[in-house]
A and B are shown apart, each in its own frame.
Chain A
Amino acid sequence: SQQGEEDPQALSIQEGENATMNCSYKTSINNLQWYRQNSGRGLVHLILIRSNEREKHSGRLRVTLDTSKKSSSLLITASRAADTASYFCATDAGTASKLTFGTGTRLQVTL
């Protein structure tokens, strides 16, 4: 079953704009990760944030985590056409290690 939902389900922006995606989850977590998926195939790991962290940066990516609200956001700054993909958040509960994914946000970046 899915852990939670992502919002929006689809997002269309122009190149150079920022894209923000939100993820909500249901149970306590150890880590939250964001993945990108092109064309419905393999997922590429983008960034991991631990439950005791509130914000993390990696290049053009900024992730925030609010454990009190059970939510996270992914910000992609200065988007490029190559950022067009589906983005998923995934949580793990520690020792169990299996990932529970959200429903995903489909991002379309146009020239």
Chain B
Amino acid sequence: GAGVSQTPSNKVTEKGKYVELRCDPISGHTALYWYRQSLGQGPEFLIYFQGTGAADDSGLPNDRFFAVRPEGSVSTLKIQRTERGDSAVYLCASSLSPGTGIHTQYFGPGTRLTVL
């Protein structure tokens, strides 16, 4: 079946602009995660959804970052007043409910965000 998809694959924006990044998880996966990966580093956790609700948003760096998942499937990561330091690859992953005891997360190809 189809894997996790993310759009756009690349996004170039100017400092101070607003951006939205979209993630479409694997069908049937109730858990959805956002991570951010800076050059030369491992991914860092941003936020985790279980269904429609954000179960853990402790990784969001500040209030310019916000994410939604209104119908429990597609999720959008929103960044307001972008800064050059926001430039990174934003990765989305999905998994079966953690309640199954299986924590394998399947990642999308990522969105490379460049803030000029």
Count, A-B residue pairs, CB within 8 A: 66
B81-116 interface code vs A (CB 8 A; 1 in, 0 out): 000000001010101001000011111111000000
**A interface size (C-beta, 8 A):** 26
Contact between chains at B56 and A42 (CB < 8 Å): no
Q: Which of B4, B42, B56, B107 contacts A98 (CB 8 A)?
A: B56
Q: Is A60 an interface residue (CB 8 A)?
A: no
Contact between chains at B110 and A97 (CB < 8 Å): no
Contact between chains at B41 and A97 (CB < 8 Å): no
Could you say which residues of chain B place their CB within 8 Å of the CB of A110? none
A36-49 interface code vs B (CB 8 A; 1 in, 0 out): 00001111110010
Could you say which residues of chain B place their CB within 8 Å of the CB of A97? 31, 48, 95, 98, 103
Q: Is A103 an interface residue (CB 8 A)?
A: yes
Could you say which residues of chain B place their CB within 8 Å of the CB of A68? none
Could you say which residues of chain A place their CB within 8 Å of the CB of B107? 35, 42-45
The CA-CA distance from A27 to B18 in the complex, in Å, is 36
Could you say which residues of chain B place their CB within 8 Å of the CB of A100? 45
Contact between chains at B42 and A103 (CB < 8 Å): yes
The CA-CA distance from A28 to B26 in the complex, in Å, is 29
Contact between chains at B31 and A42 (CB < 8 Å): no
Known A92-B103, A98-B56, A99-B33: A42·B45 in contact at CB below 8 Å: no
Please report which residues of chain A, range 58-111, place their CB below 8 angstroms from some CB of chain B when the two chains form the complex.
Answer: 88, 90, 92, 95-104
The CA-CA distance from A101 to B43 in the complex, in Å, is 6
Interface set of A (CB-CB < 8 Å, partner B)? 1-2, 30-31, 33, 35, 40-45, 48, 88, 90, 92, 95-104
- Leading 5 A-B pairs by shortest Cβ distance: A101-B42, A97-B98, A42-B109, A43-B107, A98-B45
